[in-house]
Chain A
Amino acid sequence: MTTSALRYQPLGINALKERFFSLVAPDLPNEWEVEEAMEELTDADPALVDEILSQVPAIWPVSNSLCYNYLGQALHALSCFPAAELGGWVNETLDRYEKGGLQAAQRFMTNVEQEFVCRLRGIAGLRFDEVRGRLLPYIRGLSGRELDLAPAARACTDGDTIFLPHKISMARDGEQNFLLYKFTASFQWAFLEQGTFFPDSPLLPETGEEAAGQLALALFFDSLAQPELAADLYLQLESIRARAFLGRELPGLVRETVDLLPDPLCRQETGRVARLLIALQCCCLTGEPDGVGLPGVEDSDLRHLLQPEATAAHSLALCRRLYTRLCGQVGEYHSPEPLFFQGTMRLDLVAAARSRRRQELGERFVDALTTALLTLPPSSGGPEEKKRPEGAGAAGTEVPDVALILDGDGKGGEEAEQSAFLRVDNEQVVMDEELEHLGRQVIDEFGFLPPRFVSSAAGRAGRAMAAGDVGASVGEQPLVAPVTYDEWDHRRGGFRKSWCIMTEKEIPVTRSTFITATLARYRGQIIRLRNQFEMMRTTERFLRRQRDGDDIDLDALVESLADSRAGLPPSDRLFVRLARDERDIAALFLVDMSNSTQGWVGTAIKEALVLICEAMEKVGDRYGIYGFSGMRRLRCETFHIKHLEEPYGETVRQRIGSIAPQEYTRMAPAIRHMTARFADVDARIRLLVILSDGKPEDYDDYKGEYAIEDTRHALLEARSAGIHPFCITIDHHAHEYMAHMYGTANSIFIDDVRKLPARMPEIYRVLTS
């Protein structure tokens, strides 16, 4: 092959035909067809011809005509990319053929430059999943909250998530396409930031709770004869405002992106209204409102939108004026193509996200209120210590009469602070902070306090009170005799004596491939972790020949005296020092095995445990692992996975693999149990690492403030016993109570559960070094 390349003597049509027939044998294709297809190749470099023909056996069986097409195009294609890429090109061609038929494949083959070579140079556009990792922290930093990113056909946002196109390929290279992605995300953020979806305007109809499923803005548009036109006008005006906003907030981004944006003027739109919308788009791109020529609107009005003090209400008023002028002039209205970064205004999504948010808020509020009602001191008619319904069938009979008074939205100064009351059976009770805070959030969100929240909380409280204690379940044999622990009742500032019964159980071992899969999956990481942890391993040792220290280094002293006698300059390094950086650490890992850890969370926790075990084996710290769960105070359970001194072996691994979600999260008894386990452990540092996915909570009235205070107290007890508790949580609402429960520096929140396995050993390392 190489020798013929040196000579470069064209092969001639007959030789080519012969080669071809031998390649496709035993088929006997039409001779004239082959001749026609091979014509291109007769004068070509035989080395290239060899390359080209080598692909024939792959294509011929798929489609004969595709093969002829290929022979016609291949030489041209090879002028665009190196011969080594030919296989890839052919594969892609076959793909196209199988998906879109001969024509698609032909199109692909003719457009070598755009379809294939661009991608070879990495410039065929950027996909969403390639940019998400980089954009997500960016947008979260920008917004200062937990915004999410998701792919969609067109850019839009619902207030919780920003949707971005699946792919952007407008610009020449990847970096520029990324910039366009970033611009789109920032632009959608600008809509949120400037309140596009919730203008505070007198034009909007008043919405009661009945219309909660719809935005006032959507209702306003729907009340007009041509809602799409009005919505489009509004979107364009708001885009102008958003562009001005970005120009002020993120000048660098706007400066860099502005040249990459497509020019809407190149689109041919007919009709006055469409042209007008395009003029508005231009204005949005250039930030220059002069000469847009809107009917009935002065340039100065439009210019006002560029000012920082302009609001969505201004845009809406302007939209209304424009709409009245224009609505008569269009027969059937078709929206022009929006600019890609504007995307569409999905008021339905915004409304849905708002309902979701409201529902979640409502649930949390009802929960908190239920708890408040259940934990009312007896004097105010609370059900807690009051006559529990003795006979059966009493459920639901004792729904307390509840009213919640929350006036003054913080404007009334001192007076307003006193205005939050809970009225139960006509007695006023002051609400706790959490409930009041939630109540205010509810009022902010809804504009008023929906009565259904209060009634449903009252109902739930009544039912919970009526339900009796669930007896202890018959389950696995307990490992040791059950122990009782006190429970802290913050309302009375004292313990409920021997309130919880804690049983320690063995996890029923199930066989699975979990461990092997995890070890394989994190192989590289485990090796790295082991190295890292090995470096932390240190022991007590003497440092000799120091300039100062606790004792004299006799060897050095003798030497120095000898030196001095001999007339040499004596050394001043004459001391020994004891370096006491011995790691005397015992750690217990307490794992939340509540119901809510089902699925991903549970897997991540298990993986994290495997990783930490692998790493711990290297550092040599003693460690134990326990899981906890349970239901009600009489059945608190801890599950033994690994005792402190137990070696990490196959059994322990199997137990980790068998961790499965159980019931509720009554955390405090488990913490007290761990404290008791630590009592006879002698270590300089005793560390209790709690892995949790949410608030402490149990089936009964162990919820809210009561549960948090009890857990907090259990942690305080642990601390006073010389144990350092530390919590790793993945609960998104954790901020509200974590700092209170653990103290600010003693907990960490991991926003993505998938990161847990990687982060956990890292956290442990930082904690103990």
Chain B
Amino acid sequence: MAGREIRLDAHRITEEPYYLPLGDEIRIAEVSHRCGIPLLLKGPTGCGKTRFMQYLAWRLDRPLITVSCHDDLSTSDLVGRYLIRAGEAVWMDGPLTLAVRAGAICYLDEVVEARKDTTVVIHPLADDRRELPIEKRGELLGAPPEFMLAVSYNPGYQSVLKDLKPSTRQRFVALNFDYPDPEREAEIVEREGGIAPEMARQLVRLAGMTRSLKDSGLAEGASTRLLIQAGKLVARGIPVRRACHVAVTQALSDDPELLAAIDEMVSSLF
């Protein structure tokens, strides 16, 4: 048990994470938590979904257990498994079980990446039953009121294999996230990147330009996260063009023409 406590403490967020609310999302999330309704966060990559969860965990004073989903994620990766140690079978809780036991917030990042049969385990947890059956142990774990389940996904990915089943998605309160408006985005980049307001505004302008390249073949424009990363490099003395090249241009595409075009935007702006 002691070991588990330590593991949980590592998930507790003690300092207030920076989060700039864009609407009433915090209130909605708090009310959902109180009512025991799970959350579904939609939005493009790097727009602040994960940060929002950290902030929420801090506000609710609950540990946050994040699972990044991938296509090999199996049910036992979430729930737990028997491991054989020195000839003995030892049960190990998975992150989801851990979170349920401790009344933490379990956040499944990019849930569509997980295999469909895996996402089904969260079903009984995500409706009013709020329980997690652990088949291998024959245990039915009830979730305490503090427990919250949150999942996120990016609806922009165009893969037929990666879509949420209606039966899954209809259990959630869904919050839609998008990149903030330029002013607030600049504020975020300025604060998080630690750079001057003017530089932040230019970075946001660059992001705006890349986001309008969608029809020219760029899958997704520069995210707020990319801008912050570029900003951090700049704040620590990397020349701004170089910083944008490595943090924005190269991160966005491999297509030589698009790379050149984005670099041209960078050199025009800075």
Interface residues of A (CB under 8 A from B): 133-138, 140-146, 182, 186, 249-253, 256, 547-548, 560, 564, 570, 572, 574, 577, 580-581, 685, 687, 724, 726, 744-746, 748-749, 751, 755, 759, 763, 766-769
Bound CA span A749–B241, Å: 31
> Which residues does chain A contribute within 8 Å of B159, judged by CB atoms?
766-769
A142 touching B213, Cβ below 8 Å = no
Q: Mark B198-215, 1 if CB is under 8 A from A, else 0.
A: 000010010011101101
Q: What distance in Å separates the Cβ of A565 from its nearest Cβ neighbour in chain B?
A: 10
> Which residues does chain A contribute within 8 Å of B163, judged by CB atoms?
745
> Which residues does chain A contribute within 8 Å of B264, judged by CB atoms?
134-135, 138, 182
> Which residues does chain A contribute within 8 Å of B208, judged by CB atoms?
144
> Which residues does chain A contribute within 8 Å of B210, judged by CB atoms?
141
A748 touching B83, Cβ below 8 Å = no
User: Which residue of A136, A140, A580, A748 is within 8 Å of B212 (Cβ)?
Assistant: A140
- Interface-centre pick from A136, A252, A687 (highest chain B CB count, 10 A): A252
A253 touching B267, Cβ below 8 Å = yes
> Which residues does chain B contribute within 8 Å of A577, judged by CB atoms?
74
Bound CA span A580–B75, Å: 14
Bound CA span A580–B266, Å: 45
CB-nearest residue of chain B to A556: B84
A142 touching B217, Cβ below 8 Å = no
Bound CA span A256–B155, Å: 40
B257 touching A724, Cβ below 8 Å = no
Within B25-46, the residues touching A (CB, 8 Å) are none
User: Could you give 21 example pairs across A and B, Cβ below 8 Å?
Assistant: A134-B257, A135-B264, A137-B216, A138-B260, A138-B264, A138-B268, A141-B262, A143-B212, A144-B209, A144-B212, A146-B215, A182-B268, A250-B269, A251-B269, A252-B266, A548-B81, A570-B86, A685-B160, A751-B215, A751-B216, A767-B158
Q: What distance in Å separates the Cβ of B163 from its nearest Cβ neighbour in chain A?
A: 8
> Which residues does chain A contribute within 8 Å of B160, judged by CB atoms?
685, 687, 724, 726, 767-768
Question: Does B85 count as interface, using CB distance less than 8 angstroms?
Answer: yes
A252 touching B270, Cβ below 8 Å = yes
Interface residues of B (CB under 8 A from A): 71, 74, 76, 81-87, 115, 155-161, 163, 202, 205, 208-210, 212-213, 215-217, 241, 257-258, 260-262, 264-270
> Which residues does chain A contribute within 8 Å of B158, judged by CB atoms?
726, 745-746, 748, 763, 766-767
Interface pairs A-B: 4 shortest CB-CB: A137-B261, A253-B268, A141-B209, A724-B160
A141 touching B83, Cβ below 8 Å = no
A252 touching B155, Cβ below 8 Å = no
Further pairs besides A140-B212, A744-B156: 20, Cβ < 8 Å: A137-B217, A137-B261, A138-B264, A138-B265, A141-B212, A182-B268, A249-B205, A250-B269, A252-B241, A252-B269, A547-B83, A548-B83, A560-B84, A570-B86, A724-B160, A745-B158, A751-B216, A755-B217, A767-B159, A768-B159
A256 touching B213, Cβ below 8 Å = no
Bound CA span A251–B87, Å: 69
Bound CA span A143–B213, Å: 10
Bound CA span A745–B161, Å: 12
Bound CA span A566–B146, Å: 50
A572 touching B215, Cβ below 8 Å = no
User: Which residue of B81, B87, B257, B268 is within 8 Å of A570 (Cβ)?
Assistant: B87
Bound CA span A749–B160, Å: 17
CB-nearest residue of chain A to B115: A580
> Which residues does chain A contribute within 8 Å of B260, judged by CB atoms?
133-134, 138
User: Which residue of B87, B157, B268 is within 8 Å of A564 (Cβ)?
Assistant: B87
User: Which residue of A137, A250, A548, A767 is within 8 Å of B213 (Cβ)?
Assistant: A137
A574 touching B84, Cβ below 8 Å = yes
> Which residues does chain B contribute within 8 Å of A145, judged by CB atoms?
212
Bound CA span A186–B261, Å: 13
A141 touching B265, Cβ below 8 Å = yes
> Which residues does chain B contribute within 8 Å of A140, judged by CB atoms?
212-213, 215-216
> Which residues does chain A contribute within 8 Å of B202, judged by CB atoms?
251
User: Which residue of A136, A137, A256, A746 is within 8 Å of B267 (Cβ)?
Assistant: A256
User: Which residue of B87, B115, B213, B270 is within 8 Å of A141 (Cβ)?
Assistant: B213
Q: What distance in Å separates the Cβ of B122 from its nearest Cβ neighbour in chain A?
A: 19
Bound CA span A182–B267, Å: 10
- Interface-centre pick from A137, A581, A685 (highest chain B CB count, 10 A): A137
User: Which residue of A548, A745, A749 is within 8 Å of B155 (Cβ)?
Assistant: A745
Q: What distance in Å separates the Cβ of B101 from its nearest Cβ neighbour in chain A?
A: 20
Q: What distance in Å separates the Cβ of B105 from its nearest Cβ neighbour in chain A?
A: 25
* Known A-B contacts A253-B268, A564-B87, A570-B87; A744 and B258 likewise in contact (beta carbons under 8 Å): no
